[in-house]
A = this chain, B = another copy of it.
Amino acid sequence: MYISETKIRVRYSETDQMGYVYYGNYPAFYEVGRTEALRQMGTSYDALEKGGVMMPVASLSIKYVKPAKYDDLLTIKTIVKELPRMRMFFNYEVYNEAGELLNIGETVLAFIDMKRNRPVPCPEWLYEIFEKNMNK
């Protein structure tokens, strides 16, 4: 298991007229979470795309528990439980400053060879990075 944490300060643009963070903003927050997870492992999503592999999202699920508000400092906890093969699973937990759980989510991502536009397994070099970090 690999767990990474990153902080996001809620922007005014991310609120809606209910006075809460719009429910459709969390997928972007989750993406920040997995971007930072990769960076903390010593690589980057950008490097992956520049290497010709992209990772579109195959599925997403979110369970909303409590709302976030403007200017809240959120903690995005990104969790990798399994090594990536054809697909890569990320789990997320979002907390506010009081430590309350706001929502939990999961995304499944595929690996796509950008030249041939076809699914491929996780590139070996990336698999090794995950392996090294998950066994720490």
Contacts and interface: CB of A to CB of B under 8 A. Distances in A.
Contact of A19 (B17, B26, B44): B17
Contact of A23 (B15, B19, B25, B27): B27
A63 interface: yes
Interface residues of A, number: 37
A16 B18 contact: no
Contacts of A63: 58-59
A46 B9 CA distance: 13
Interface string A24-46: 11111001100100000000111
Interface of A: 9, 11-13, 15-20, 22-28, 31-32, 35, 44-46, 49, 54, 56-64, 67, 70-71
